[in-house]
Amino acid sequence: MVTVVSYGMGVDSTAMLIGMHANGERPDLILFADTGSEKPETYAYLPVINAWLEGVGFPLITVVKNARPKSGDKSLGDSCMRLGVLPALAYGQHQCSLVWKRDPQIGFVSGCKTLIVNGTLVEDHPGWAPAIAAWSAGELVTFCIGYDAGARDSCRSYKAEGKASKGCTNRFPLVEWGWDRARCEAEIAGAGLAVPMKSACFFCPASKKSEIDWLAAFHPELAAEAVEMERRAHARGLRNIKGLGRRFSGDEHINGKEAEPELPLAA
């Protein structure tokens, strides 16, 4: 069986790697899809986890990124700024994750015209040889995804069941093991690693107000960029939601403006 870990550089996916090692499982490939808009702390964790992976004999992280040759966008943030929109999640959709997270990983495994791999632009990428060989033999490639056994992620794994890309199957080890978020954090600490920050774009619409406060305090330049993104979306006619917080405006929250009542979420 060919096994690929979809690694997000966050708590759940890090705990998943630790659990696989403890269970004697070795992945064949570990992919991190870079949106170009992660928090600095997330990027800083790459050498930390790579050092651990090397120590236990796991493959190092392969970083893949959507090349976007037509638009020239170097990140999800660039794309939103250029188009004058918010990330798709703000509208209750998931295209940002599909385009910037799923597609580069599937592109690396199955092949694609252009892809950035470990910082290098690769044209006519032929695909990953072990996956091609597995498909030739009529086998599926297993993608291990770090949804934990908590209520929220268990719902996400249930919805993702049976929705794997062609030639692939999804597996959710943390759900199998019954590891919730607290257990994941404990396992990471027990392995001697620092618990990583929640992995998400710095302008993620799923951010809590406390997370926005943290961003404004520790990375004011990124908070200002998120506010500018929201302003551009409003200038283009955003009306159905308040802003990056969906029910609330990030601009109003960060800059202390008089806040209007929260809007109900659009269906």
At 148-181, the pLDDT tens digits run: 999 776 555 445 555 578 899 999 999 999 999 9
Average per-residue pLDDT for the chain: 91
| Comma-separated ranges of CATH 3.40.50.620 domains in the chain | 2-190
Q: 10 pLDDT exceeds 60?
A: yes
Which helix (H) or strand (E) segment holds residue 6: the answer is: strand 2-6
- 266 confidence band (pLDDT: 50, 70, 90): very low
* Strands of the sheet with 112-117, listed across from one edge: 120-125, 112-117, 61-65, 29-33, 2-6, 141-145, 168-171
| Model pTM score | 0.90
Sign of the CA dihedral 211, 87, 195, 147? positive
Q: 60 pLDDT exceeds 50?
A: yes
- 258 confidence band (pLDDT: 50, 70, 90): very low
User: Going by CATH, does the domain composed of 2-190 fall within 3.40.50.150?
Assistant: no
